[in-house]
Amino acid sequence: MSKDSTANIITVALTLCLVCSVIVSTAAVKLRPIQEVNKQLDQKINILKVSGQWQEDRNIEELFSAIETRIVNLDTGNFDDSIDLETYDQRKASKVNELSINLDKDIDVANINRRANFAKVFLVKEAGAIDKYVFPVHGYGLWSTLYGYVTLEKDLNTIYALKFYDHKETPGLGGEVDNLKWQSLWQGKKIFDENDQLAIKVIKGNVVPGNENEQYQVDGLSGATLTSDGVTNMFHFWMGEHGFQKFIHKVRTGEVL
Ligand SMILES: Cc1cc2nc3c(=O)[nH]c(=O)nc-3n(C[C@H](O)[C@H](O)[C@H](O)COP(=O)(O)O)c2cc1C
């Protein structure tokens, strides 16, 4: 058989395909645990940053040791220690029927369709006592679901920081949620008003200094009202009765902790 025969060409091409596919699949399988570890480290960095604990030159695990991770049952507001902290993935759980609930349209203000039954909360300690709480949150903007963390001061009302780590909003428009200047506007804003009603809102335009709702208002992202509304809705869902509100009330009344 000639070296350039059709059969020979096909054999060489097929062998090459087979060898390449084995290499690619082996690499994918071998790299998966490393990717998983990097993903978890990345989340730890996000949590350290949003809670003001991040220091570039310090070891991540060492810094994270000041943060206690607990799991909250969102329906009761109680901690649940029966779930494995290392393996629990809220994002994956929200896609599993047995681990999540379907949200009817009237309560699904953040447009997320399903909500996991359990959520992690991160307790930031100072001198052994809780100083801040970091909550994972997500909600739909214009093009995508925005995933992030909200840190609250120990009064569980005052916002310390907000940071997103995953979204597909348009750079320069909705993507401005990542702008540090905009993110800094959240510090000190209040979520609940004096009647304990959800009041936080990303408004259209700029907040008028001195107006009676200033402490609940954040400047809108210009040209991106839909993403801005998505952020407001996200807060209203996760700080509301189907989110962390039961937990928040129980901590405030001392029923939890
Ligand atoms: C290509 C393109 C990308 C856009 N991306 C966003 C976005 O990421 N977030 C958003 O709220 N609006 C985005 N918009 C604008 C919305 O369609 C809508 O006009 C806007 O949210 C209204 O906000 P405004 O009232 O502040 O102008 C985009 C528009 C275009 C044409």
Q: Pick the atom of ligand 1 nearest to 229's CA.
A: 11
What are 230-256's pLDDT values in tens digits? 999 999 999 999 999 999 999 999 998
pLDDT in tens, 168-182: 999 999 999 999 999
Q: Which residue has the tokens 């807060």?
A: 235
| pLDDT of amino acid 27 | 86
On whether residue 40 sits in a domain, the answer given is no
Separation of 4 CA from ligand 1 center, angstroms?
57
Atom of ligand 1 nearest to the CA of 175: 8
pLDDT at 129: 94
Residue at 61 is within a domain: no
Q: What is the model's pTM? A: 0.90
In a domain, 91, yes or no: yes
- Which residues, in sequence order, are CB contacts of 192 under 8 Å at separation 6+? 157, 198, 199, 239
Q: Is 55 within the bounds of a domain? A: no
Among 169, 182, 219, 225, which residue has the most ligand 1 atoms within 8 Å of its CB, making it the best to mutate? Answer: 225
Distance 224 CA to ligand 1 centre (A): 5
Q: What residues are in contact with ligand 1 under a 6 Å CB criterion?
A: 142-143, 169-170, 173-174, 222-227
Which amino acid residue places its CA nearest to atom 30 of ligand 1?
A: 170
Collect the ranges in the chain with pLDDT lower than 50: none
How far, in Å, is the centroid of ligand 1 from the Cα of 227? 8
Number of domains in the chain: 1
pLDDT at position 1, please?
A: 63
199 domain residue, yes or no? yes
Q: Which phi and psi angles does 227 have, rounded to 5°?
A: -65, -45
Q: Long-range contacts of range 201-206, CB-CB < 8 Å, 24 or more positions apart?
A: 201/232, 202/228, 202/229, 202/231, 202/232, 204/228
Question: Two tokens at 238?
Answer: 């996760």
Range of the domain at 182: 66-252
- Does 5 fall in a domain? no
32 belongs to a structural domain: no
Q: Is residue 134 part of a domain?
A: yes
Quick one: which H or E segment has residue 137? strand 129-140
